[in-house]
A and B are shown apart, each in its own frame.
Chain A
């Protein structure tokens, strides 16, 4: 079974630009979550989507947004990039259903390394 894939793997942008990252979950998984990893803040939860609906959101500004498509693929968008947005963005997928969601294993992709200059 193919794992979680993320594209692109590396991105370089300048301040003020916007960026879109893509995540394809494991086949059959309906939940996709996004995390930001930085040396200073560690791994922080951005948001989670399940069946095309945002189910949970972390404490990030509105410049960070996402969506999920009917095939469970997900995108996240960051507008008006700031230097502090430089990070590794990780996507994770899980089966995601109802009451079992907190115990589901989440499978992570390799990440997208975003550098903002």
Chain B
């Protein structure tokens, strides 16, 4: 079975400092991994996805994530936080299972606070 664990429920950074949001995954298959962001009262927006191509994945708004199979991790980083980055972030794995469906399994989310 597939699962994801987001290691921090809340992360606080100062504007202009680096962001690190941690995610570990468990998967019996070669995983497809995603990071989504949710701003207050909004739907989910895809930041980036990993689907077994390059292990370093670049996304929108300066975010990137590195797939590390040996550590079963897919941490999200950004060199310099902006106030507009304050939101909830979800690490997600696609449930490949025994059938080809699009079911997504979400982590519990990490709230990113950016202080001025």
Contact = CB atoms under 8 A, between A and B. Distances in A.
B100 A105 contact: no
A106 B44 CA distance: 10
Interface residues of A, number: 31
A107 interface: yes
Contacts of A31: 102
B94 A102 contact: yes
A106 B104 contact: yes
B44 A108 contact: yes
B93 to A, nearest CB: 9
A43 B103 contact: no
Contacts of A96: 102
Interface of A: 4, 31, 33, 35, 42-45, 48, 50, 55-56, 58, 90, 92, 94, 96, 98-111
28 contacts: A31-B102, A33-B104, A43-B90, A44-B106, A45-B103, A48-B102, A50-B101, A55-B101, A55-B102, A56-B103, A90-B44, A92-B102, A92-B104, A94-B102, A101-B101, A102-B94, A102-B101, A103-B32, A103-B49, A103-B94, A104-B102, A105-B34, A106-B102, A107-B46, A108-B43, A109-B43, A110-B42, A111-B43
